[in-house]
A and B are shown apart, each in its own frame.
Chain A
Amino acid sequence: MSLNVSNLTVHHGAICAINQVSIAVPTGKLAAIIGANGAGKTTLLRTLSGLKHPTNGSIMWKGEKIAGIKPEALVRRGISHVSEGKSVIPELTVRENLELGAVWRRNAKESKESIDQVVSIFPRLGERIQQRADTLSGGERQMLSIGRAIMAKPQLLLLDEPSLGLAPLVVEQIFQTIRDLTTAMNLTVLLVEQNAMGALKIADLGIVLNLGKVVAINHAQALIDDPAVRAAYLGY
């Protein structure tokens, strides 16, 4: 298990957002985290990437405890977090947004190679490389934020609702790209989604959160076939 979370509890002030959550994700696997609004999905990701400190429990990544380490240090350990809502910096150009992801590596040559790699994955970004990010469409912004994460050469990718506010066709493309990247780069991925069906379809593993607790964890296909999960989260 490359990522091992055990008994994790996280509070927002007095409110318990994550309650004794234990999950394990093997290397190279894509785990979809689904659940209603307020289930604690985003808080879980923010804790894993170091933006939020846990009240209790442990997070092990590649055999090391990482709870309490700052996000910028975790990036150096291979953890990249694409936060909710197309997290690009609108004032910067597409190229600058990408370069930002590799600044910490202090290697101009590798940075250029990574940009080429990202552009080969998302050719649209290549066409818009000199434009300011605020001229991009929603889908392009999502590509850019994922692209920036790839610039860091991550091993663990945390994705928070990449489908949010995108047209169905674009969502399908983004999901397919996430699946392809996971396989091609042997990434471990945690994908938080409201679009439960779309996420489970590309995932190896499904985790259902409700009110801060894990209520189901299984093979993605098994969750899709589970009548209770279908009724509650997949809507049919």
Chain B
Amino acid sequence: MQKLLETFLIGLSTGSIYALMSLALVLVWRSTRVVNFAQAGQAMLSTYIGFEIASRSEVFWLGLLFAIAAGALLGAGVDFFFMRVLFKHAVSGPAAVVAPVIATLGLLGLIRSIVGLTWGGEFKSIKSPASTDGFTIGETTIPFSALNLLIIVTVFVILIALAIIFQRTNLGLSLRASAYAPEIAQLAGIRTARTRTIGWAIAGGVGGVAGMLVTSFNFLSPYSLDLLLVFGFIAAVIGGLESMVGSVVGALILGIALTFILNYVGTSLVFIGGFVVLIVVLLVKPDGIMARGKVRRG
């Protein structure tokens, strides 16, 4: 029973980080119809910047703020300097579908090289903002630590903030409208191109947080966020790629499922487990867990 509970809690903590990456991918997909593989690179570069600040100031949260800012700037930059140009030239046909995705892969490689050249390939680490020792309940110590709890709380706060922005502000309304129906939004006076860039910036900032949270307990290297991208993407697909709530729920389910596999089956099966979950969801509910029948577009 106790093992069950701690597996669940650790899964929640892991899943909440996936949720940020998943959300970042969904935000970009909804507005631009591009699966942004460069998201891992953007998050990594943002995290390196956060790492620099955090290790010099010895304040993790200052590093986190800088990672958010760097992520947002990077995200906006990628849309403004790459996607806009790309969409101007690749207007229709297969090129318009494939070119942006290939471009994000290229960008991922580019950012990785820049990071490698700047910081080298060796593992870096940040001092954790909270204890990584498990909580002690009575006599026993469980693997769930103060850091795990802090991660859950941090993600929760960010998700609440995003929910407020998207549901309660004009910016959020513009973001949603531009994603659902760009032409109608444009005719309503929304500057859709600018709105999309803001969406990329939010996704970038969220990715930066994900990178910093992973790095709070893991080493940082030019490859350390690759797994996060893979699991974030799987979670996004589980959620149906369109739904922000779905992406978060999908990530939590995935995080918990993978932790159960880790604790009850074995370490070696975790990676495969992610894909098993993906395939099961695609077979049972191909439109994602949040799909509720076809939306009428009249």
Residues on A lying within 8 angstroms of B by beta carbon are 49, 51, 70-72, 75-76, 80-83, 85-92, 96, 99-101, 103-104, 106, 134, 138, 141, 148, 151-152
Question: Among B59-67, B177-185, B252-260, B276-284, which stretch is in contact with chain A?
Answer: B177-185
B170 contacts partner chain A, Cβ-Cβ < 8 Å? yes
Q: Are A100 and B297 in contact (CB under 8 A)?
A: no
Partner of B295, one of A49, A71, A134: A134
Residue B111 at the chain A interface, CB threshold 8 Å: no
A76, A89, A138: which contacts B184 (Cβ < 8 A)?
A: A89
Partner of A101, one of B189, B191, B295, B298: B189
Q: Is the CB of A72 within 8 A of B180?
A: no
Find out whether the CB atom of B295 lies under 8 angstroms from the CB atom of A100: no
Q: Tell me the bound Cα distance from A104 to B195 in angstroms.
A: 12
Residues of chain B in range 248-266 having any CB-CB distance to chain A below 8 Å: none
State whether A90 and B188 are in contact (beta carbons under 8 Å apart), knowing that A99-B173, A103-B174 are contacts in the complex: no
Contacts of A88 in B (CB 8 A): 184, 298
Which B residues contact A (CB, under 8 angstroms)?
170, 173-174, 176-177, 180-181, 183-192, 295-298
Which listed residue, A70, A100, A138, touches B298 by the CB 8 Å rule? A138
**B190 with A89: CB separation less than 8 A:** no
Q: Separation in Å of the A133 CB from the closest CB of chain B?
A: 9
Residues of B within 8 A of A106 (CB): 170
In the docked arrangement, what's the CA distance between A86 and B295, Å?
15
Inter-chain CA distance A151–B173, complex, in Å, is 15
Q: Whole-angstrom distance from the CB of B229 to the nearest CB of chain A? A: 27
CA distance A99 to B189 in the complex (A): 11
Tell whether, in the assembled complex, residue B186 and residue A70 are in contact, meaning their CB atoms are under 8 Å apart: yes
Q: Is the CB of A72 within 8 A of B173?
A: no
A151 — which chain B residues lie within 8 A by C-beta?
Answer: 188
> Given known contacts A103-B170, A103-B174, A134-B295, is B189 in contact with A87 (CB within 8 Å)?
no
Q: Contact between B183 and A103 (Cβ–Cβ < 8 Å)?
A: no
- Shortest beta-carbon distance, A90 to chain B, in Å? 6
Contact (Cβ within 8 A) A76 B296: no
Contacting pair A103 B190 (CB below 8 A): yes
Measured in the bound complex, the distance between the Cα atoms of B296 and A87 in whole Å is: 12
Which chain B residues lie closer than 8 Å to A99 at the CB level? 170, 173
A104 touches B183 (CB 8 A): no
Q: Sorted from nearest, which 7 A-B pairs have the closest CB atoms? A: A75-B189, A104-B189, A100-B188, A71-B186, A103-B170, A89-B181, A101-B188
Contact A89 B177 (CB under 8 A): yes
Q: Contact: B189 with A83, CB < 8 Å?
A: no
